[in-house]
Chain A
């Protein structure tokens, strides 16, 4: 078998100007959307967190609410190409100033790739499955793969896949590029809960992204931009979309599974 069939019961998006699926699909940004509220995190935790962790918390909460999943009821898969890169950059700057100085403990533990899943598990008292992945520009594809295979193996009954990327700090942006932050949350369920989608290695025929308008320029360079195409697919703007890594995600045909 090289195709995976599963349901995506809800999606959520957050990027500057885009807190609603419809706004993204129609390319009608709301200028008042400038910071994720991340209310899933209690204030005492939230004030320590990065933009990436807040974006992930925001899309997880909204995807879970739309899918009517109680807090903490789903596994969580987070994916990002560079993870907590702003916090890491601040630590690197501190080390450059003084290589002998011990680092801030909070900044240090907030620099790990699984920072968001750690805070989410604490905030939702979730002792179940979670993980954090990185696969460069293939991160959206591999995150969906990890989430769908976790469901299939019965590791959890529902899983929220959260894909997010914050801007690179200086001086890394000099060579790595400048782009706006984004995060996408997907609530996955076993096939049949609906609507169903199929992820496969094969290229889709009657596709796909050519029919969609280009992504907003400030988001198109984000390594996880392909995640925005999943939102458009879910909203019915395309029949299939490429995810990276040679994988495509398509709305499932009706019929036997």
Chain B
């Protein structure tokens, strides 16, 4: 039986394109990439999707959880404060769940703590594993800043994390364990992911160009993206269906024919009770590596034929644990404003990828958008969003 649609009543995000939702979505509509030179602190030449400014520190009461990741979270959470207050008043704080995706957690602070330990023989004062490093510190900070008291946890499945949280929230709502859920993701730049993807030889020295014949790999980005789901309410979009799958193939390489990706998309459509011809466009995972774009393009073509495909990592870089939620908000903006964003950097599109890539912005309504997120470990998720009822 298909899942019930869930209204998405508010959203907010920050990333390389801007510190506010308005700035980010203005840049998306204008086709302006936010990619820039990597910050000096990472001792690396090349391109990153770093925030344009440093986010402010947490309030003194949360000093023990102050970290790059919780600062980005708090910045974006502040934009949602009125909507969260309204939802808490309507449903009670005990009925507001918090389910967030992250892959990095507070690892940037742990990197600095290791360096401090190497120099001084001790970890820096105030550093803790439980509050600084832990993935779930973002849940504690969200609860402290919003008063939400419902079920709270982190989904951490690398680059699919913040799209899989939509499935979790959908199930918590269906089971009657909450009436509202704050979902999304947040990830920061850090040495570990930069040097890790460097070790895999997947970093592009220039701005990434997903689906382009000239693509060279990925750029790493950072940011936060949050959405409020409610049992009932008015919003710009609705969650229609979620499909999750595993490649069962390789820890980092995607299945060459995109088998797991196709399964995830088909399951999302089945969950929504929708047919492939009802999808107006796909926001692809499209990282910009040879293998990923090729296998995803095959999977999309096999299931959805020549449905238009948008790739948005050329704007932000790959936000890893925050990528899924970021791209879902791009899909909401496309539904709300009636356009398909330009796939910045995609021209000339790779003729060997069978997907119909949207190279320049197209002004046309999108009623249903499918957004893909794929990850290490062969973790795949596809989410179908639609306009208001």
Contact = CB atoms under 8 A, between A and B. Distances in A.
Contact of B379 (A82, A114, A125): A114
B66 interface: no
A152 B174 contact: yes
B130 interface: yes
Contacts of A136: 130, 134, 136, 140
Interface string A136-154: 1011001001101110111
Q: How large is the interface on B (under 10, 10 to 19, 20 to 34, 35 or more residues)?
A: 35 or more
A86 to B, nearest CB: 13
Contact of B246 (A82, A110, A126, A152): A126
Contacts of A245: 151-152
B133 interface: yes
B152 A102 contact: no
Nearest to B242: A155
A92 B111 contact: yes
Contacts of B263: 127
Given A118-B377, A127-B247, A131-B157, A149 B171 contact: yes
B252 interface: yes
A171 B117 contact: yes
A88 interface: yes
Contact of B154 (A108, A128, A134, A168): A134
Given A102-B199, A133-B156, A142 B376 contact: no
A100 B174 CA distance: 48
Interface residues of A, number: 64
A214 B174 CA distance: 37
Interface string A105-119: 100111111110111
B153 A95 contact: no
Interface centre among B105, B128, B379 (most CB of A within 10 A): B379
Contact of B200 (A108, A142, A172): A108
A103 interface: yes
Interface of B: 1, 3, 42-44, 103, 105, 107, 110-111, 114-115, 117-118, 122-123, 127-130, 133-136, 139-140, 151-158, 164, 167-168, 170-172, 174-177, 191-192, 195-200, 244-252, 259-260, 263, 375-379
Interface of A: 1-2, 4, 81-83, 88, 91-93, 95-96, 99-105, 108-115, 117-119, 121-122, 124-136, 138-139, 142, 145-146, 148-150, 152-155, 168, 171-172, 174-176, 245
